[in-house]
Amino acid sequence: MSSIPPRDYQRLLVKVSGGYLATDQRTIDRARLDFVVEQLRPLHEEGLEISMVVGGGNVLRGAKEKSLGMNRSYLDSMGMLATVINGMALAEAFRGAGIASAPYSAIQMRHDNVRNWNLEEVRTFTAGGGIPIFVGGTGLPFFSTDTGGVVRALQMDADIMIKASRVDGVFNKDPELHADAELIPVLKYADALALNLQPLDQAAFALARENNLPIAVLNLGTPNVLERWYRGEDLGTLVCN
């Protein structure tokens, strides 16, 4: 057991990109789903209130689909639906592991397996130990699920948003291109702007900063990263005011 005190958080919102659920072979990979569930499980067992936002980039990103020759708003609608599919998969993986979970959509839907976003209902669900998966982003085109994550984190009164990353946090330069890139353990929002570092897209960044929402950028691929971080280990980057 670590002697470092656990972090003082009760409510977390975890944002996972759609790409995280995919492999080269599969758009949604069972092992990736289960890995996410196992990362979250210790914090859930700890009694933390957890909610999640999932992206849709494994299927479609509106801004990147110019070759389809469709307008951006239409493509974004498709992207938002992609997040619904991911959320359904993730919720089912949680349920399979004995943890109550359901996708809650920002896009109004009439669907047996998807619930419509409703703050009261979601609060009751998390208070009862469920993990809601927020899908459909903000419900509006021209936004991202990072922005959806910040909005939902604020609506849920989350203490912090965790952004699952493929790398260990925010670096002074791209660690996938530069071997000498250095991890920044604590990054002030003002410095992120000054250094032109982008832990979130601009709209999400502005909203988080304005509302004083801290963001922990963690490499979800690191075994037990969430539990170790929660127990106080110095992992990832904390972005805050």
Helix, strand, coil fractions of the chain, as percent rounded to 5: 40, 20, 45
Instruction: Pick between residue 57 and residue 236 the one whose CB is nearest to ligand UDP.
Output: 57
Cα separation, 162 vs 217, whole angstroms: 6
Number of neighbouring beta carbons within 10 Å of residue 119: 11
Q: Which residue from 39, 101, 145, 165 is in contact with ligand UDP, where contact means CB under 6 A? A: 145
Contact between 163 and ligand UDP per CB under 6 A: no
Instruction: Pick between residue 216 and residue 231 the one whose CB is nearest to ligand UDP.
Output: 216
Which of these ranges, 36-44, 51-59, 158-166, 209-217, lies near ligand UDP under the rule CB under 6 A? 51-59
Q: Which residue from 12, 17, 39, 104 is in contact with ligand UDP, where contact means CB under 6 A? A: 17
Contact between 21 and ligand UDP per CB under 6 A: no
Least distance between ligand UDP and beta carbon 63 (Å): 6
Strands 186-188, 215-219: parallel, antiparallel or unpaired by DSSP? unpaired
Which of these ranges, 78-86, 93-101, 154-162, 227-235, lies near ligand UDP under the rule CB under 6 A? 78-86
Task: Detail the DSSP E strand segments found in the chain.
Answer: 11-16, 49-54, 101-105, 115-116, 131-135, 160-165, 186-188, 215-219, 237-240
What's the 3-state SS for 8-61? CCCEEEEEECHHHHCCCCCCCCHHHHHHHHHHHHHHHHCCCEEEEEECCCCCCC
Least distance between ligand UDP and beta carbon 88 (Å): 15
Q: Which two tokens stand for residue 174?
A: 């791209």
Q: Which residues pair with 49 in a beta bridge?
A: 11
Contact between 6 and ligand UDP per CB under 6 A: no
Instruction: Pick between residue 50 and residue 231 the one whose CB is nearest to ligand UDP.
Output: 50
Residues forming contacts to ligand UDP in the complex (CB under 6 A) are 17-19, 55-57, 61-63, 75-76, 79-80, 82-83, 137-138, 140-141, 143-148
